[in-house]
Structure 1
């Protein structure tokens, strides 16, 4: 894929993505590229700066994705640790377990899990105290 900065004959600037330079030329010659502002099909490429990343220094350590890189990420990691240490993961049974606790069918305990948005909304409408967590539960992968 290649992105071009384009301009129509009425001086409207816009950008568009193309499969290749040849694809751009084919579409341009067939008048299949049009200005999104005025519909003009007289289009030309304008000056663009390439998006080039600087090379990494040889001695520079790569960041570890599992380690927080900011105070906010560290706070989120600590919140996750606290939730996982002090509550039971009930998975996709969260809505049913929360409702059963609220109705007194089972003992109260701290739980977390997953619920469809409509199930969570129904819990809230029924007065069941639930709140979304700002992270996804860890799932075991094969």
Structure 2
């Protein structure tokens, strides 16, 4: 079993387990490996250097891992405590804002134009790109 430290095009770091180097290469070339944070398939293997002393970098790595962990916890809490209205997000946000629908926390999909229109109407929305992988329960 090979364990590799991987990184996506958006600098999200994660770990991957493969039966061999060839297994990693074939899965990566077939775009079967996805970043657990943003679902990007542009994945690179980070160099491993177990013989180097990186004690000064351990604190920075630990901080990055802690921030990533907190971000994932926050996203999962948002997903658990909001209603997914999907493509109807802009319409539902307006209905809530104008008291035409019950006040509740929602999430969904909106285009850049819809987001701008909601903001112009004084409707507070927060764009938060959430990977579909984060919307599922952890194994």
After TM superposition, the score normalised by the length of structure 2 is 0.50
Deviation string 1:77-132 (CA, Å, 9 cap, x unpaired) is 11111111111011111100000100111010000111000101110110111111
Instruction: Measure the CA separation in 1 of the matches of 2:101 and 2:72.
Output: 30
**1:101 equivalent among 81, 96, 105:** 96
Query: Once superposed, what is the RMSD of the aligned Cα atoms?
Result: 2.5
**1:85 equivalent among 74, 80, 86:** 80
Partner of 1:75: 70
> Which consecutive residues of structure 1, in runs of 5 or more, have no partner in the other structure?
1-58
Moved over 4 A (4+): none
- Determine which structure has greater relative contact order: mean sequence separation of CA pairs < 8 Å that are 6+ residues apart, divided by chain length: 2
> Is 1:61 the equivalent of 2:3?
yes
Structure with the greater alpha carbon radius of gyration: 1
Partner of 2:120: 125
Partner of 1:24: none
Greater share of residues in helix: 2
Number of residues paired by the alignment? 80
After TM superposition, the score normalised by the length of structure 1 is 0.49
> Which consecutive residues of structure 2, in runs of 5 or more, have no partner in the other structure?
5-14, 17-34, 38-63
Instruction: Measure the CA separation in 1 of the matches of 2:123 and 2:65.
Output: 34
Q: For residue 73 of structure 1, report the CA deviation from its aligned partner.
A: 1.6
